[in-house]
Structure 1
């Protein structure tokens, strides 16, 4: 009997999810580019594989927003909102922590979640996944072929041999895959989703993942090049890479599917010390009032203090609204952290607007990277980079690093390329962009 489909609330979006299994550990399964969780159970091999998974774990499945049974027709989300969807499902399922398993394109999202939400992750499992989109579609021409398929043949299942060249010529299997396509996304939704996916490049944040990680990939995977898995394993500290035989991309097929289950079982149920999270990935926001010293000298201490108090209240109001963490004030600015770069930029925009109404010009730098957390401070190169980027700006500027720009693909945010800059105290040049 398939599990009951329920809905979790992620902001104003409803996320369809199911919970099944009776194992002692929690596991969240992050799907590939499209999914439909009720259709999973109509394919016998998929259903058996999931039943086996539930023998050693309590499993949560979900459809990402815009796909399957989750709310459709919503704006194509950025990584921040996708991370929120995982968190919403975990909360609804009563999972304070869980192993997070990302399959195919879901591996990129699972990796970002593990980097930013490490305290909620017991471990990270990646299968057939990648760090950058080129491992899936190496050329624009290849992606255009998918778009052509979406326009002319989506819902027929005719693309199944591209995913599973050894098993994809069975008519019943293709019929099921055709239904999976139709119920997973409309042709137009698919195209919009894949345009956003084409910007995926998470290589810069992988070294910040500090939880146990298992990477599995078929050496001859027909869909995702093996270098996708090898890159993940190389860049995630301490990750274990297991290369499997076979060409079929699907996780549940053949003896490889059994081997994957065995490896997941050993990884999830094995005894490991809990990680210590004194270093985490964060989006760092550094705000600075332009020419504050000159303004203070011109206005005098009393008037300047009143302006600073109004500035501080306005900044704190926006940090609270966007769930930012105030680390400290810096006299004429703030240092704050966020659990996602998109939220950091939106908050920066709101701060600039709020203090601008007070006649206070600020410049803001945003960077995402690993920081060292103490009781009342954060330290690390990421903080220095955010501060140095802010110093490049003028009043009203919100400047971001390339890492931030890449991670907010699909958010609707626009940027102006300001070129490469050598930041004071840092040896490498950094690409800097102005948020518009």
Structure 2
């Protein structure tokens, strides 16, 4: 969940793990934003901001492509990064991956709403206290929970990782984040280590990532799998085999992107009222406003037709905030704009995007009311912890798209 690189190097078992990886690869490690040595933040980082941090570390280290190694809830960032930036990801290595924060009928391994209420209360009242961390260690790693030396290190490590307030924000974000819709878009070599007790959840993940390989680590080792000698040796052996077997990178023509569609409501009526020349002048101001906001929020203009824009983003939070800014700015021009946002797998050809995700984004926008930003449930799940609030707009059938789709309006 969180870490502290400084105290990490005080734990010989972790050092052994890192040095084992360094024997056949270059290893880059980072403290997540708001944890350990990283600067503190007011709100828990989103998956989107965590992806930004991974890219920043890779850029600083001169790493064009990397194999991402992550475990537990951190797997959500690695999975989303791999699907969003396939050109920068050589492969994925996951340990006991958790891809959804809260249990559903088809994902029963996550905590229930009731269990989350209990856990959040425990974190709120106990984070920082020795008794709380002792209980946490017994839950996470029962095999070493009575090792006094390890317990002493664990307590200090967790205290330095997160302040009490930050810990509560992080756990709340963990509860909401969900990348299950992204799994099928991961198209690269993937190795999944799992403990015997986590078999079903890991098989769920592996079954949705094409070609993923599962490796079982026997026994009830707990969260700190690397504390077991046999598990460590197996992990190093399989990882080295995986890394050295990776072939030359191939060009990726499919990518997970967030698409944004906007258009002016009742534009034909407005054009008739203004006349051709005045309408053309107004459209030019509209286009300039939209393009300025796209540049500000790192959006890519994919296409425009008449009074509508189709843009793509590498993060759903930026797409939502860009849409909000566009809607608000255009009110000053007395233009009512509606917007739709969806995240999904797209086919990429040069600077163009196509595929079902693009169609879904356009259909979502068509349901939006004047001045409204409407998003799919996938987008809502991916921006957990961002502070963006939503209102449920029910389930809808999207023309030409199978099934019902839950839509949410972004609160003003």
TM-score normalized with structure 2 length = 0.93
Aligned CA distance change for structure 1 residues 65 and 155 (closer, same or farther; 3 Å): farther
| C-alpha contact 2:127 2:164 (8 A) present in aligned 1 | no
Runs of 4+ in 1 over 6 A off after TM superposition: none
Distance in 1 of aligned mates of 2:24 and 2:65: 16
Which has the higher relative contact order, 1 or 2, with Cα contacts under 8 A spaced 6 or more apart? Answer: 2
Q: Which one has a larger percent helix, Structure 1 or Structure 2? A: 2
Change (3 A) 1:60 1:155: farther
Q: Distance in 1 between matches of 2:195 and 2:294?
A: 44
The residue that corresponds to 2:181 in the other structure is 204
Total equivalences in the alignment:
400
Contact 2:43 2:166 (8 Å CA) reproduced: no
**Equivalent residue for 1:112?**
80
Separation in 1 of the partners of 2:38 and 2:253? 35
- Larger mean CA deviation between 139-148 and 172-181 belongs to 139-148
Structure 1 partner of 2:195: 218
Q: Secondary structure at the match of 1:227?
A: helix
Within the candidate set 154, 157, 165, 2:128 is matched to 154
Q: Which runs of structure 2 are paired with 1:246-395 in the superposition (5 Å)?
A: 246-248=219-221, 249-254=223-228, 255-395=230-370
Q: Deviation string for 1:191-216 (max 9, x for gaps)?
A: 22101101122111111111211111
Match of 1:14 in 2: none
Per the alignment, residue 170 of structure 2 pairs with 193
Provide the rounded CA distance (Å) in 2 between the counterparts of 1:128 and 1:393.
Answer: 39
Q: Who is 2:106 aligned against?
A: none
| d(CA) in 1 for partners of 2:71, 2:314 | 23
Q: What is the SS of the residue equivalent to 1:60?
A: coil
1:43 aligns with 2:19: no
The question of 1:89 aligning with 2:57 is answered: yes
The separation in 1 between residues aligned to 2:66 and 2:350, in whole angstroms, is 25
Identify unmatched segments of 5+ residues in structure 2. Answer: 104-108
CA RMSD, aligned part only? Answer: 1.6
- Secondary structure at the aligned position of 1:235 is classed as coil
2:94 counterpart residue number: 126
Aligned to 1:56, the other structure's residue is in SS state coil
* Aligned equivalents of 1:153, 1:198: Cα separation in 2: 17
| 1:53 partnered with 2:21 | yes
196-205 or 148-157: which moved more?
A: 148-157
Deviation at 1:54, TM superposition (A): 0.9
Structure 1 residue runs of 5 or longer lacking an equivalent are 1-32
Q: CA deviation at 1:298?
A: 2.3
Measured against aligned partners, the alpha-carbon deviations of 1:106-145 in whole angstroms (never above 9, x if no partner) come to 1111111111111111111111211112435345336624
